[in-house]
Chains A and B, each alone.
Chain A
Amino acid sequence: MSADEKFDAIIIGAGPAGAACAYVLAREGKSVLMVERGVTAGSKNVTGGRLYTYAMEMVEPGLYKRAPLQRKVVREQIMMLGTKSAVTVDYADFEFGEDVPQSYTVLRAPFDEWFAAEAEAKGAMVATGILVDELLEENGKIVGIKAGEDEMYADVVIAADGVNSLIGQKTGLRSDITPHLVGVGVKEIIELPDDVIAARFNLSGDEGAARLALGCTEGTSGGMFFYTNKGSVSLGIVFNPEQAAKRGKKIQEILQDLKMHPAIAPLIEGGTTAEYGAHLVPEVGLSGMPKKLYRDGLVMVGDAAGFGINTGVIIRGIDLAIVSGLAAANAVIEADGAAAVGPLYEKQLEKLSLMPSMRLFAGWHNILEMPRMFSEYPALANDAMRFMFTVDGKVPARMDKAMLQIVRRHVTFGQLLADGWRGYRAL
């Protein structure tokens, strides 16, 4: 292709950030090429996961209704696992499922393929099965991409190539990712009949449950996630690779142990594993993001830019990716010349509440990096419950003394104070 067949935008990667960007640009009449290395869009992608619906509504009201989403989440569950026990909080809020449901569980292969097809239907060109090797640069400006022998040109290149963004590194905008910045997620898709899922999680119709758990990673920073889909559940763990390496137990084995935990096994009993996936996730929020998300002729979106929020009960990534893709599209549409795109993209990220949200949660990863969150505190919660619910005919200890003893068994008061202070400062 010669330079006179230039696109308004080339998007690298057909995940949610890329597809949202392509969809909006094509809808507004821009010429867009979206390049994806997988055989189909979504075939290289893995989520926990869920999608917070507001992001789809920002792209286009009602768009989510056409999407191949799984179940609308009305049950938010948190678990603290002991060796052979579990404390589970189950918050059912049916307003989360009314009007525009707040969130849906999602599987990325069908979702991303659908989203890319929607962008294509709006007029975007989607080229799958093509790995982008290089960026083309002229006079310090990114002017296109190179894939194999093919060179393609555009006013703006949008790097939407995911957390392990090799393209992002080639721009010089971000340094190589270090173990501290990411979590490793592994998950199994376990097929189960819908009536079994509904009965085990107390769901009706297309309602779904999302569950997170601590205390299952043998002290490594991380936790379990469990999402109910249509005809399957997603069960996995995410954790810090550096700590996992030090502990020396294989990630895959920790997941197998979790499957056999007496509080987890009954949830998946009778199921058949259909797929095993793994992926990195941006884990430290704002502090893991490149200082600048653009240079002349290029912007970075989604995981490539490091967008991610993890509060311990809320894990956001796909929604932020979609909003960042929308922000990039708006910037391209507004821009008077390619040089204006980057600064406008930054303005859009503010206007669409993305950067303000990232800043609000900037310190939260410090809470999730407290080592005691992953072993001592879950064990403490389980011991406290065991004391409260134990009846064996003997005279039990006084409640206050017993509780004090249980706390002391797991942590010192100094540690408690330090963690409390650290937690407070992180907010």
Chain B
Amino acid sequence: MTIKRQSAEELLGLNKFNVDEGHPHIILDKSICAKCDEKPCLVICPAVLYTLKGGEINFDYAGCLECGTCRVMCKNKGITGWNYPRGTFGVSFRYG
């Protein structure tokens, strides 16, 4: 393969995930996010899981790499709950 730019979706597609359906480990209060001007989450999530759709923050916990950057960077605490996924769930690095 020739080296090329890859989108976050393509990169996440290479990883192994065991998604805990119905149990998001990161909870947002979108009314707080709506009032947040900076929205650092859009930029700093390495997996680009925070996106804007029709002006509203959208978050997909399924591809989370569990790094904690959003938790550390969330300025106005729109992230009301951040925990690790329940045991065995989430990403499983094969290389790490």
The main secondary structure of chain B at its interface with chain A is loop
Residues of B within 8 A of A (CB): 1-6, 8, 11-12, 14-15, 18, 38, 40, 42-48, 65-69, 71-73, 83-88, 90-96
Can you report 6 A-B residue pairs in the complex whose CB atoms are below 8 A from each other?
Answer: A38-B88, A109-B96, A256-B6, A259-B3, A270-B3, A275-B96
| A275 with B43: CB separation less than 8 A | no
Residues of A within 8 A of B (CB): 37-40, 42-47, 107-110, 112, 128-131, 147, 163-164, 166, 176-179, 182, 184, 186, 188-190, 232, 234, 241-242, 244-245, 247-252, 256-257, 259-260, 265, 268-280
Identity of the chain A residue whose Cβ is nearest the Cβ of B92 in the assembled complex: A43
Identity of the chain B residue whose Cβ is nearest the Cβ of A161 in the assembled complex: B84
**Beyond known contacts A131-B87, A177-B72: 19 more, CB 8 A cutoff:** A43-B91, A44-B93, A164-B72, A189-B95, A232-B95, A241-B69, A241-B72, A242-B73, A271-B1, A273-B11, A274-B14, A274-B95, A275-B96, A276-B47, A277-B93, A277-B95, A278-B46, A278-B69, A280-B72
* Closest chain B CB from A12 CB (angstroms): 11
* Closest chain B CB from A147 CB (angstroms): 7
| B95 with A164: CB separation less than 8 A | no
Cβ–Cβ < 8 Å partners of A276 in chain B: 11-12, 14-15, 47, 65
Identity of the chain B residue whose Cβ is nearest the Cβ of A264 in the assembled complex: B3
The main secondary structure of chain A at its interface with chain B is mixed
| B72 with A43: CB separation less than 8 A | no
* Closest chain B CB from A188 CB (angstroms): 7
- In the assembled complex, the Cα of A164 lies from the Cα of B90 at a distance in Å of 16
- In the assembled complex, the Cα of A271 lies from the Cα of B14 at a distance in Å of 14
Cβ–Cβ < 8 Å partners of A130 in chain B: 87
Q: Closest 9 A-B residue pairs measured CB to CB?
A: A108-B96, A164-B68, A278-B46, A276-B11, A245-B40, A129-B88, A109-B96, A278-B67, A278-B65
Cβ–Cβ < 8 Å partners of B4 in chain A: 259-260
